[in-house]
Amino acid sequence: MSAAIYYIPEAYSIEGPKLMGRNAAGESFLRGYLKYSKPSEHLWVYVEQDDHAKNFEALANKFGREESIRSISKYSLHNAASVPVIFHPGPGIGEPAFHRRLYGDASWSLCGITHTTSSARAMDSIAALLTAPVQPWDAIICPSEAVKKNAENILQAQVQYLKHRLGISRLVQPLFPVIPLGIHTEDFMFSDDQRISSRMELGISEEDLVVLYMGRLSFHAKAHPLAMYQALVNTHRDTKKNIVLIECGWHANDYIKDAFTEAAAIACPSVRCLHLDGRIARNRLIAWSGADIFCSLSDNIQETFGIVPIEAMASGLPVVVSDWDGYRDSVRHGVDGFRVPTLHPGPGLKEDLSIRHAIGVDSYDKYCGYSSSFISIDIMALTSAFIELAQSEGLRRKMGEAGQQRAVGVYDWKAIIPQYEELWERQNDIRESFSGRNSSKDLGSDNKSYVVDETRVWPARLDPSVSFSHYATSILDENTLLFFNGGNLQDCMLKLESFNALKMVNFAEHLLPNQNEAELIIKRGIASGSSAVTVSHLVSDFPDERKAFAIRFTAWLAKLGFFRTA
């Protein structure tokens, strides 16, 4: 089953100056979706701007998609009922759920996905799910069991708060399926000739042991390098092998760049360190094809899945990673490589850090950095893993082959996209089973029934005729009596034409009646003479689907002086 993809080019691009994991994941997903999703009559896209739809169409054509492109925007949101699901590339489906509520909660399903869950925005989005009109037919995809558990922790705390504050007794939550991020494994298949050529270009001999780190180089928001530096020095000391460390990535600024250079000089002086700008595609190719071992020791709360170890596995490299977050799902210890034990302070020992971040004393960057300062990697276990791999080319090959098979079979988008489609199918089935007005269904594990709420109200965005109705002296409805202020039809229409030419009137032109509609109401007013007449009589010539608008038109004509209240 297909979905309408919420498409903002930036979210699916790796061309920007500040490349983030969500950009890489978005770009990779969209390629996978266009390559492997089942053909359908139309490809649907939800856009903010018309040119975004054209951009999406160009991408679809590039991948040989022959379907016509159908777009939805906030100006045509009612058309979303034509698609079963709208996919958002983030967890914030609370506000889109309120948008949908204006057309009916069961009109379509929403599907989001988590990336980092430590930022204030992400945590607020997850907590808001409990008070937003999300439904059992909505879903938030979690790329790993670790991120699902974190989302559950946030929701559990929010539930306790709402129970204490408001005495709530009933909750509605979306689905939280675990579906990993995918990669295009064919991008990471390298020949022996490429390996030889890459090492020659970097001045690396066949006997040297090359360890690669790939990704954003950030000691405070990604992976602190000191454990890796120290373990590589230990490995050189114990094996006498020449070790080359390639850090292929990018620094956010010169301060961070200098910090890496300084730390490497002090902590691993016997290791040759090379830096390649990872934003350049050729550098990434050289790094992947020339390495013997991949290492990533994430120790940061902003990490959730970790796509780069999967790319390393696809490249046929044994991987050495921290036993942390999503790495636990993807890397099989002793099979694809090694997971190195980590240590984290117990509950309550970092509460001051969350408080400082919550009240704005510390920025998000500082909050992540301060938190990671207390998360450690077992350097002795890390050293043992490096030594074992350094001393056995056969083990490196065996683990590399196992990881490559796993990457192709489990993490290629060819295997992942069908899981998205199965989820969207499931969401649609649930939605359709609840779609009847006031229908009740068993929700399963909680053994409670669910009744579809057809009240199309967004409390924080009420109809102004409701929320501000008490401002006026009287309220206009179909039973309101109005007097016509006089004049013949020709004079009235000339007067209306002159008013419609005014900037202070025609700025709202798209909301106003056309000339024929205004004439219908004015004619009824003229026919009433000096007698009061109900609004329902004034709009009796309008079809049913325009009656509500016609009633409002009478208020506009009264504003211009054609009518007054009785």
Specify whether the CB–CB gap between 474 and 480 falls below 8 A: yes
Give tens-digit pLDDT for 113-172. Answer: 998 888 888 889 999 999 999 999 999 999 999 889 888 999 989 999 999 999 988 889
Average pLDDT, integer, range 336-363: 90
pLDDT tier at 488, thresholds 50, 70, 90: very high
Query: Which of 377, 369, 366 has its CA nearest to residue 295?
Result: 377
Average pLDDT, integer, range 513-525: 95
pLDDT tier at 296, thresholds 50, 70, 90: very high
When mean pLDDT is compared over 77-86, 266-275, 473-482, 508-517, the highest value belongs to 266-275
Instruction: Enter the pTM of the model.
Output: 0.84
pLDDT tier at 440, thresholds 50, 70, 90: very low
Give tens-digit pLDDT for 394-405. Answer: 999 999 999 999
Specify whether the CB–CB gap between 318 and 238 falls below 8 A: no
* Strand ranges for 434-485 from DSSP E: 440-442, 449-451, 481-484
pLDDT at 136: 95
pLDDT tier at 31, thresholds 50, 70, 90: very high
Average pLDDT, integer, range 22-28: 81
State how far the Cα of 74 lies from the Cα of 52, in Å rounded to an integer. Answer: 13
Q: Give yes or no for residue 461 having a pLDDT over 80.
A: no
Query: Which of 238, 122, 170 has its CA nearest to residue 453?
Result: 170
pLDDT tier at 443, thresholds 50, 70, 90: very low
Give tens-digit pLDDT for 176-234. Answer: 999 999 999 999 999 999 999 999 999 999 999 999 999 999 999 899 999 999 999 99
pLDDT tier at 20, thresholds 50, 70, 90: low
Q: Give yes or no for residue 271 having a pLDDT over 80.
A: yes
pLDDT at 446: 40
Q: Give yes or no for residue 449 having a pLDDT over 70.
A: no
E strand or H helix at 212: strand 209-216
Q: Quick one: what percent of the chain has pLDDT higher than 70? A: 95
Give tens-digit pLDDT for 316-337. Answer: 999 999 999 889 999 999 999 9
**Residue scoring higher pLDDT (345 or 319):** 319
pLDDT at 519: 96
pLDDT tier at 445, thresholds 50, 70, 90: very low
Taking the chain, what is the end-to-end CA distance rounded to the nearest angstrom?
A: 57
CATH code 3.40.190.10 for 185-411 = no
pLDDT at 452: 64
The secondary structure of 231-299 as a DSSP string is HHHHHHHHH---EEEEEEEE-SSHHHHHHHHHHHHHH-TTSEEEEEETTSHHHHHHHHHH-SEEEE---
Q: Which residues of 458-473 are buried (b: 16+ CB within 10 A; e: fewer)?
A: beeeeeeeeeeeeeee
As to burial, measured by CB atoms within 10 angstroms (0-12 exposed, 13-18 middle, 19+ buried), residue 242 is middle
Tokens, residue 378: 């077992």
100: number of CA atoms within 13 Å, CB side?
A: 26
Query: Cα-atom radius of gyration of the chain, to the nearest Å?
Result: 31
DSSP 8-state secondary structure symbol assigned to residue 344: -
pLDDT tier at 464, thresholds 50, 70, 90: confident
Q: What is the mean pLDDT of the chain?
A: 91
pLDDT at 437: 42
Query: Which of 67, 76, 56 has its CA nearest to residue 12?
Result: 56
pLDDT tier at 457, thresholds 50, 70, 90: confident
pLDDT tier at 354, thresholds 50, 70, 90: confident
pLDDT at 189: 94
Q: Give yes or no for residue 438 having a pLDDT over 70.
A: no
Give tens-digit pLDDT for 7-19. Answer: 998 888 777 656 5
State how far the Cα of 275 lies from the Cα of 245, in Å rounded to an integer. Answer: 8
Which residue spans of the chain are classified as CATH 3.40.50.2000? 185-411
Q: How far is CA 2 from CA 32, 424, 426, in A?
A: 13, 7, 12
Q: Give yes or no for residue 105 having a pLDDT over 50.
A: yes
**Residue scoring higher pLDDT (115 or 534):** 534
State how far the Cα of 467 lies from the Cα of 196, in Å rounded to an integer. Answer: 72
**Residue scoring higher pLDDT (322 or 508):** 322
pLDDT at 120: 87
The answer to which of 238-247, 269-278, 468-477 has the lowest mean pLDDT is 468-477
Q: Give yes or no for residue 463 having a pLDDT over 90.
A: no
State how far the Cα of 514 lies from the Cα of 206, in Å rounded to an integer. Answer: 80
pLDDT tier at 508, thresholds 50, 70, 90: confident
HEC string of 404-439 equals HHHHHHHHEHHHHHHHHHHHHHHHHHHHHHHCCCCC
Query: Which of 524, 560, 561 has its CA nearest to residue 539?
Result: 524
